[in-house]
């Protein structure tokens, strides 16, 4: 059994909630909030076996296909089903955020803040055998963990991962049907063609990556520097391409027909919706919580980052496509205010009603059509979700 903290919320966190108009009573259910897992499609027939192994009955989440809940103190990380990649832990609210993207086989999907990757895995499961998913994250160590996860669940076939700043990432989706381009590029310079991914990078490439990391740490990287590609699957569209083809950026005009079908901006935030995250600071020290999470200046710079991520995600979305903006903060500043500001400056952005949520245990946000999940209402972690579509101009 895992240890669960029953200690009261720290003073600094309570003041943060008060300043942000968040009712602390929504967290009172946190200790009993179930844990959730998603069954890898195809493993449904093994439910009884999985239950026997984790010694616990799994409750089907009626409002979210493929999801099951279990008591918060049941450990799954050492179970064979988990190690074999038949189940993965993902909160139901996170699953809801992915499901409102309505991913269909064949879609080109962009996940602009991808690590550690629970939502990315679900996207790849929904995508099936056609289309592509591009995962971007600014933190290379977190994205490396995401790569490990893709490999564990054998989900990387149609995925590519870039260490990059999501506020300026500009690469086009790769059409997996781009055989003619691959054929052409096969006549290009030999060492510029991407061969099948292997974790053992050629010496030249490792040296180049090390140099890039060094330049980054010395802040020598110009904004025109190519993002670092740290993984690509066999059917991600990368194999056979030249560097020039891969690193082709899109003009705003090209985006409207060649942009991504679906974009997730699961933005960096103060994580205040997740008490499990806040309680970690019991061990790291409440002062760290103050500095790393609650500090007003940090929150201000976060809202700037969130708006930039949303703007860039929307820029890369094709006309008629869907974008989901989510955060695991419950403050208005990081959610509704961002949505309002964004709508004000984007005539082609339309906030969409999330019809499927009518049967879901969540509330409307302060702006109609947006959703809020919280431990008390939803028995999930806290999450804000807004869905936009891009109108043709």
* Residues catalogued as catalytic: 328
How many residues of this chain interact with ligand SAM, rule: CB under 6 A? 19
Does 115 help bind ligand SAM (rule: CB under 6 A)?
yes
Does 167 help bind ligand SAM (rule: CB under 6 A)?
yes
The answer for residues whose C-beta is within 8 angstroms of residue 291's C-beta and 6 or more apart is: 298
**Residue among 182, 172, 304 at smallest CA distance from 241:** 182
Is the N-terminal amide bond of 116 cis, ω within 30° of 0?
A: yes
Residues 59-98 that bind ligand SAM (CB under 6 A): 94
Q: How far is the CB of 355 from ligand SAM (least distance, A)?
A: 23
Does 383 help bind ligand SAM (rule: CB under 6 A)?
no
Candidates 137, 245, 272, 374; binder of ligand SAM (CB under 6 A) is: 137
C-beta of 256 vs 381, nearer to ligand SAM: 381
Does 119 help bind ligand SAM (rule: CB under 6 A)?
yes
- Segment near ligand SAM (CB under 6 A), from 136-144, 203-211, 351-359, 370-378? 136-144
Between CA 208 and CA 217, with CA 214 as vertex, the angle to 5 degrees is 145
Rounded to a whole number of angstroms, the distance between the first and last alpha carbons of the chain is 56
- Segment near ligand SAM (CB under 6 A), from 116-124, 278-286, 339-347, 370-378? 116-124
Q: How far is the CB of 170 from ligand SAM (least distance, A)?
A: 13
**Residue among 234, 302, 299 at smallest CA distance from 268:** 302
Q: How far is the CB of 113 from ligand SAM (least distance, A)?
A: 3
C-beta of 241 vs 385, nearer to ligand SAM: 385
Q: How far apart are CA 389 and CA 393, in angstroms?
A: 12
Are residues 263 and 314 in contact, defined by beta-carbon separation less than 8 angstroms?
yes
Q: How far apart are CA 103 and CA 124, in angstroms?
A: 9
Does 160 help bind ligand SAM (rule: CB under 6 A)?
no
| Bridge partners, residue 262, by sequence | 109, 322
The binding site comprises: 137, 165, 266
Residues 282-311 that bind ligand SAM (CB under 6 A): 305
Does 116 help bind ligand SAM (rule: CB under 6 A)?
yes
Q: Is 97 helix (H, G, I), strand (E, B) or coil?
A: helix
Does 118 help bind ligand SAM (rule: CB under 6 A)?
yes
C-beta of 117 vs 361, nearer to ligand SAM: 117
Does 272 help bind ligand SAM (rule: CB under 6 A)?
no
Q: How far apart are CA 202 and CA 189, in angstroms?
A: 16
The structure tokens listed for 60 are 């089907």
**The tokens 């499609």 sit on which residue?**
41
Does 139 help bind ligand SAM (rule: CB under 6 A)?
yes
Does 165 help bind ligand SAM (rule: CB under 6 A)?
yes
Candidates 268, 373, 380, 386; binder of ligand SAM (CB under 6 A) is: 268
The structure tokens listed for 145 are 């963990």
The binding site for S-adenosyl-L-methionine comprises: 137, 165, 266
Does 166 help bind ligand SAM (rule: CB under 6 A)?
yes
Q: Is 36 helix (H, G, I), strand (E, B) or coil?
A: strand
For the chain, the residue count is: 393
Candidates 107, 108, 266, 374; binder of ligand SAM (CB under 6 A) is: 266
C-beta of 137 vs 245, nearer to ligand SAM: 137
The per-type count for the chain, helices as H runs and strands as E runs, is 16, 14
Does 117 help bind ligand SAM (rule: CB under 6 A)?
yes
Cβ-based burial of 72 (10 A; exposed 0-12, middle 13-18, buried ≥19) = middle
Does 315 help bind ligand SAM (rule: CB under 6 A)?
no
Sites of contact with ligand SAM (CB under 6 A): 94, 113-119, 136-139, 142, 165-167, 266, 268, 305
């Amino acid at each position: 059994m895992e240890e669960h903290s029953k200690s009261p919320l720290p003073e600094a966190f309570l003041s943060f909630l008060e300043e942000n108009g968040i009712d602390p009573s929504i967290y009172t259910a946190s200790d009993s909030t179930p844990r959730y897992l998603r069954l890898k499609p195809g493993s449904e027939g093994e439910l009884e076996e999985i239950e026997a192994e984790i010694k616990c009955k799994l409750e089907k989440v009626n409002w979210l296909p493929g999801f099951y809940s279990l008591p918060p103190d049941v450990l799954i990380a050492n179970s064979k089903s988990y190690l074999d990649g038949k189940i993965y832990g993902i909160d139901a609210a996170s699953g809801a955020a992915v499901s409102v993207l309505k991913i269909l086989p064949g879609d080109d999907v962009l996940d602009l803040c991808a690590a550690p990757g629970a939502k990315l895995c679900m996207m790849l499961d929904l995508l099936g055998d056609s289309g592509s998913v591009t995962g971007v994250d600014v933190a290379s160590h977190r994205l490396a963990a995401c790569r490990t996860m893709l490999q564990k669940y054998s989900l990387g076939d149609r995925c590519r991962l870039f260490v990059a700043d999501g506020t300026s990432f500009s690469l086009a989706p790769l059409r997996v049907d781009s055989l003619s381009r691959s054929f052409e590029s096969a006549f290009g310079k030999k060492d510029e063609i991407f061969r099948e991914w292997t974790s053992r990078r050629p010496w030249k490439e490792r040296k180049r990556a090390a140099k890039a990391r060094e330049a980054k740490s010395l802040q020598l990287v110009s904004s025109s520097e190519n993002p670092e590609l740290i993984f690509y699957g066999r059917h991600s569209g990368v194999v056979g391409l030249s560097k020039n083809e891969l690193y082709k950026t899109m003009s705003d005009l090209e985006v409207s027909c060649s942009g991504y079908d679906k974009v997730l901006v699961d933005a960096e935030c103060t994580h205040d919706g997740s008490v499990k995250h806040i309680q970690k600071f019991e061990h790291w020290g409440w002062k760290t919580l103050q500095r790393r999470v609650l500090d007003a200046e940090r929150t201000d710079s976060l809202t700037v980052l969130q708006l930039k991520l949303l703007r860039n995600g929307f820029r890369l979305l094709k006309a008629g496509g869907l974008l989901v903006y989510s955060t695991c903060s419950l403050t208005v500043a990081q959610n509704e205010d961002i949505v309002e500001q964004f709508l004000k400056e984007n005539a082609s952005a339309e906030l969409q009603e999330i019809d499927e949520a009518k049967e879901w245990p969540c509330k409307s946000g302060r702006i109609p059509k947006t959703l809020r999940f919280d431990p008390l209402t939803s028995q999930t972690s806290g999450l804000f979700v807004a869905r936009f579509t891009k109108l043709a101009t």
